[in-house]
Amino acid sequence: MQKKEWHTALCMLCVLMALAYGLCRFAVYQNQPERLAAFEDRFLDLTTLGISAGEENQLTVSERKVTLSWPDDAQAAEMLTAVQPLPDGCRNLQITLGGGGSMNSWHKERWGYEAWLELRLYKGEEQIASDCAEMPLTASRSDRTRIYTLQAETREADGWQLCAVIRPVDGRIQHGELLLNNWEVDAR
């Protein structure tokens, strides 16, 4: 091996060591008990959000999971939280959650119903902003969820509400269910 090779090896190993040292520090920091506790308990307790559903719809709420189901021939279904206060000085609100339910789509095709999530921001009783996203439910099992996210600039808002709406694609919808779990709120 030539001198140049040894020098390069030394330099590269030093760079790797510095990187590894930084990552080791990060691993230790992340595993501090208070950081771990914050990571493990970061989800909203859904039983405290005052979640309600439309007539004829059935709602099951537990700490980390809410299930909305509707009967055959329903015209629509909806569930929504009570308006939740925004923390002072919050400029941006992001909600991340897992969504799943009875299969209603494949590629661009939809059948039966469409499932939408809507984040509404309120100033007093007036809705001043919103963000929405469709949940194309492509899983063959209704208990399989994937992550969805909604976000909005809060501006002058003082409260937020999350709503899930089921709309028929062609007239009426058949019995089905929607599952939302692991709600995470990031208010900055």
> Using the rule CB under 8 A, which residue among 59, 128, 129, 133 binds other proteins?
133
Q: Identify which range of 50-58, 65-73, 85-93, 148-156 contacts other proteins by CB under 8 A.
A: 148-156
In the window 30-49, what residues touch other proteins (CB under 8 A)? 30-31, 39-43
> Using the rule CB under 8 A, which residue among 52, 63, 186, 188 binds other proteins?
186
Residue type, 132: C
| Tokens describing residue 177 | 């269910």
DSSP secondary structure of 161-174: EEEEEEEESSS-B-
CB of 45 to other proteins, least distance (A): 13
CB of 114 to other proteins, least distance (A): 11
165 Cα distance to chain centroid: 15
Is residue 60 a contact point for other proteins (CB under 8 A)? Answer: no
Is residue 5 a contact point for other proteins (CB under 8 A)? Answer: yes
> Using the rule CB under 8 A, which residue among 70, 77, 79, 136 binds other proteins?
136
Closer of 109 and 125 to other proteins (Cβ): 109
From the number of C-beta atoms within 10 Å of its C-beta (0-12, 13-18, 19+), residue 178 rates as: buried
Beta-carbon-side half-sphere exposure of residue 91 (alpha carbons within 13 Å): 0
Kind and range of the H or E element at 5? helix 3-30
CB-based contacts of 151, cutoff 8 Å, min separation 6: 92, 93, 94, 95, 119, 131
Site string for other proteins, 166-185 (x = CB under 8 A): ----------------x-x-
Q: How far apart are CA 40 and CA 65, in angstroms?
A: 15
Q: How far apart are CA 153 and CA 187, in angstroms?
A: 10
User: Under the rule (CB under 8 A), what is the footprint of other proteins?
Assistant: 1, 4-5, 8-9, 12-13, 16-17, 19-20, 23-24, 26-28, 30-31, 39-43, 96, 98, 107-108, 133-134, 136, 138-141, 144, 146-147, 149-151, 182, 184, 186
